[in-house]
Amino acid sequence: MRRATLDSRTLTLAEARRLAVAAQMFGARPARPGVAQLRELAARVHEFQIDSVNVLARAHYVAPFARLGPYPVAALDELAYRTRELFEYWGHAACLMPVALYPLLRYRMDKHGEWTRQYMRSRRGAYMAKAYAEVQERGALAAADLSNPGKRSGNWWGWSSGKAALEHLYDAGLLAIAGRRGFERLYDLAERVIPRTVREAPVLPPEQAMKELIVLAAAAQGVGTADDLATYFYVDGWRDRRGPAPWWARAARPRKRAQPVVGRLVAELVEEGRLLPARVEGWKAPAYLHREAQVPKDVAARAFVTPFDSLVWHRPRLARLFGMKYTIEIYTPVAKRIYGYYVCPFLLGDTIVARADLKADRSRATLVVHSVHLERGHPPRRVLPELAAELRELQTWLGLERIEVTRPAELKRLLSAGSRTRSRATSRSG
């Protein structure tokens, strides 16, 4: 590996891609992935995004599979809801994160905390206070379990009053997610969910916490612009700059949001030597590296990533690194879709070489491949055998009995023939 030093901070685009893919922990997979490997992965990428779409599998389960291979899904639930090594909160989005990050995210919670306590002591906040007291008395509850959950309405994103109250208490750090019933959140007092040592850890001032998150983002991304680094945890984003009250409790005239500070924070981290400025071939904006960044000679990666994988979160960065314009077409009318409903980029080595519209049809125990589109410049002869091999691993991990391909015909033939072509570059052994 080539360490990024003060004398070698101009990266080719290929070097930037290898650095980014390796930093995201793609590469040779362990022979028997389990809790230990999952714990290490969480400590390196920091976040697994949780999303309600279950076309293939929940996104937070697929992200570890893309990096580790067929790990036991129960291991992720064990770390999150039994041993409490992971917790749910707002990172890039709703994410599972190592509890070591809890003190760094307290600034987001605490900005709501004092307002929330005052609000619950007021007449307007009586309903929220009752919801909090009910959780305190009864233990972990879903919004529907409240004695007065309220009715769903067109306000508060269609949430009931109970759901909106519990969500705000969760935002404020007074409640935490104790588990899930299906996909439904179960809320409990934070002190009954978050380990005591973590809750009592020193809380950094907001800007210092933001800087720590930016540094973690640099390590997890490998290389990125200031915007890329900020977006990983949405540092200085709308959650950080909005006021403490939820929108439904604000005055008719909302407060002006605070001015962005991320540019200044990145500059300070460069002055402190914790980030290294760099140039990447073809990028207009300055780039930054973690001071321990190393560029690998190659990356033995082969994986499908969901639309909610941290490798593809920031679409402008995805376009700069991989030349890929990628959007989620779930909400696009069928007639206007270009690639499909649930399209997963296919990573091979240090390049995204294709995208596949996938679905796990559990009623037929079938992994359905609606379509595969190769990215420009990547020949089918190289890509499709590797893609077929990865589909088989995904099918097995999902517990499905067969793979059904609509197109292309060549992929259908490969899978029908039982081809098990594997390149040396994508060996699965650790």
**Residues 91-103: pLDDT tens digits?**
999 999 999 999 9
Beta-bridge partners for 373 = 355
Of residues 56 and 422, more confidently modeled:
56
The reported pLDDT for the residue numbered 159 is 79
Question: Looking at residue 6, what is its pLDDT?
Answer: 41
Tell me how far CA of residue 149 lies from CA of 135, 146, 188, in angstroms: 12, 5, 16
Give the pLDDT confidence score for residue 78 in this predicted structure. 96
Indicate the pLDDT class of residue 408, thresholds 50, 70 and 90. confident
38-45: average pLDDT: 97
pLDDT score for 200: 95
pLDDT of residue 344 exceeding 50: yes
Type of residue numbered 68 = L
150 pLDDT higher than 90: no
pLDDT higher for 236 or 420? 236
User: Tokens 């088989």 belong to which residue?
Assistant: 392
Q: What is the pLDDT of residue 99?
A: 98
Dihedral, CA of residue 167, residue 169, residue 172 and residue 174, to nearest 10 = -130
Q: How far apart are CA 393 and CA 117, in angstroms?
A: 50
Question: What is residue 409's three-state secondary structure?
Answer: helix
Question: What percent of the chain clears pLDDT 90, i.e. is strictly above it?
Answer: 78
Query: Given this model, what pLDDT does residue 425 score?
Result: 38
How many Cβ atoms sit within 10 Å of the Cβ of residue 260?
Answer: 13
Query: For residue 427, what pLDDT is reported?
Result: 38
The pLDDT confidence band at residue 244, using thresholds 50, 70 and 90, is confident
Structure confidence at residue 259 (pLDDT): 79
DSSP secondary structure string, 230-273?
A: HHHTTTTSHHHHS-SS-GGGS-SSPPPPPPP-HHHHHHHHHHTT
Is omega for the bond preceding 408 within 30 degrees of 0, making it cis? yes
Residue 257's pLDDT is what?
58
- What are the C-alpha distances in Å from 79 to residues 84, 98, 105? 6, 9, 19
H/E segment holding residue 167:
helix 161-171
Mean pLDDT of the chain: 91
Across residues 188-208, what is the average pLDDT? 97
What mean pLDDT comes out for the span 285-307?
A: 95
**Rounded percentage of the chain residues whose pLDDT exceeds 70:** 91
The alpha carbon dihedral of 389, 394, 396, 397 has a sign of positive
Mean pLDDT value of segment 295-313: 96
The answer on pLDDT for 156 being more than 60 is no
pTM higher than 0.75: yes
| Beta partners for residue 71, in sequence order | none
Structure tokens at 321: 């690194």
